[in-house]
Amino acid sequence: MLLTRIALAGEGGQGVQSVAEIIAEAAFNEGKQTIYIPNFGIEQRGGVSIAFIQVSDTRIGAPKFDKADVIVALSDRSIARTAVFSDNNTLFVYDSASQVNQEDFPKEARKIIGIPAIETANDELHPRVFNIIIMGAVLGLSKVVSFTAAKDALVYKLGHKFANDADLKELNFKALEIGRQLGEKALQKEGEVNA
Partner 1 sequence: MEKIVEGSTRAFLTGNETIAWASLVAGAEFMFGYPITPQNEIMHYWTRLAPKYGRGFLQTEDEISAGFTVCGAVQGGKKAFTATAGPGNVLMQEPFGMAEAMRLPMVAIIQQRGGPSSGTVIYSQQEVNLTTFGGNGEGYRIVYSTASHQELYDYTIKAFNTAWTYRFPTFILGDGYQAKMREPLELYDPQEKGITLAESFPLVGLPGVIGENRQPQHLNNIYSLEEELYEKVMTFSAVFEKISPEIVEYEEDSCEGADIILISHGVVSRAARDAMLILRSQGIKAGYFRPVTLRPFPDEALKKVILQSNAKKALIAESSYGQLTRLIKQSIYGETINIDTLYKPGVGIVDYDIINKVKSIL
SS3 178: helix
- Is residue 34 part of the contact set for partner 1 (CB under 8 A)? yes
Residue of 11, 18, 47, 60 interacting with partner 1 (CB under 8 A): 60
The nearer residue to partner 1, 20 or 137, going by C-beta atoms, is 20
121, burial (CB in 10 Å: exposed 0-12, middle 13-18, buried 19+): buried
Single out the segment in contact with partner 1 by CB under 8 A; choices: 31-39, 98-106, 128-136, 168-176.
31-39
Residues 6+ apart with CB under 8 A from 57: 1, 32, 33
The least CB distance from residue 37 to partner 1, in Å, is 4
Single out the segment in contact with partner 1 by CB under 8 A; choices: 28-36, 109-117, 124-132, 183-191.
28-36
How many Cβ atoms are within 10 Å of 183's Cβ, its own excluded? 29
**Dihedral angle computed from the Cα positions of residues 187, 24, 51 and 154, in that order, rounded to the nearest 10 degrees:** 80
The nearer residue to partner 1, 108 or 165, going by C-beta atoms, is 108
Residue of 1, 13, 41, 156 interacting with partner 1 (CB under 8 A): 41
Name which of residues 133 to 192 contact partner 1 (CB under 8 A): none
73 and 82 in contact (C-beta within 8 Å)? yes
Q: Which residues bind partner 1 (CB under 8 A)?
A: 21, 24-25, 28, 33-42, 60-67
